[in-house]
Amino acid sequence: MASVKQSWIRKYGEEEGLRKFNEFKKQYGRPKEKFIEEHGIDAWNKYVLSKKTYSLEICVEKYGEIEGPKKWEERKNKKINSQKDNFKDKTWNNGRTLDSYQNRYGIEKGYKLWKLRNERQSYRFSKQYYLDTFGEIEGSKKI
């Protein structure tokens, strides 16, 4: 189950959901203070840096003024070239086509799973989903 508080409340009710959510956080969460206590502030700063979005600034901060821009250019060019190659050969796909389902699961089972997925998705992005999820007034605003 997701670690989003609202999903716990929706599944178990207000009181029980909050209790279970807090238990989950204690069991799997790792607060900053505990991490710093165990590994030190330098390890924390290194960890935070590793989780930042990749950009020129991050490369400069991580590799220095000279190596940073080089690493950024390498990464950028590699990504651009791989995307071009994927679309040029038309080998890239997102794995959600009928063909890919049938190749993965066999013709009959692949068709059933593909159709089931499409039915779920069509409901998820329908007006009825918003009305069911958010109610008459809020659901109409979201459309």
Residue pLDDT, tens place only, 88-103: 766 656 778 888 888 8
Quickly state the pLDDT bin for 20 (edges 50, 70, 90).
confident
Q: How far is CA 125 from CA 30, 62, 82, in A?
A: 35, 41, 32
Measure the CA–CA gap between 44 and 35, rounded to whole angstroms.
7
CB neighbours (10 Å) of residue 72? 19
Name residues whose C-beta falls within 8 Å of residue 98's C-beta, 6 or more positions apart in sequence: 110, 111, 114
pLDDT for res 109: 93
pLDDT for res 89: 65
**Cβ 1 vs Cβ 11: under 8 Å:** yes
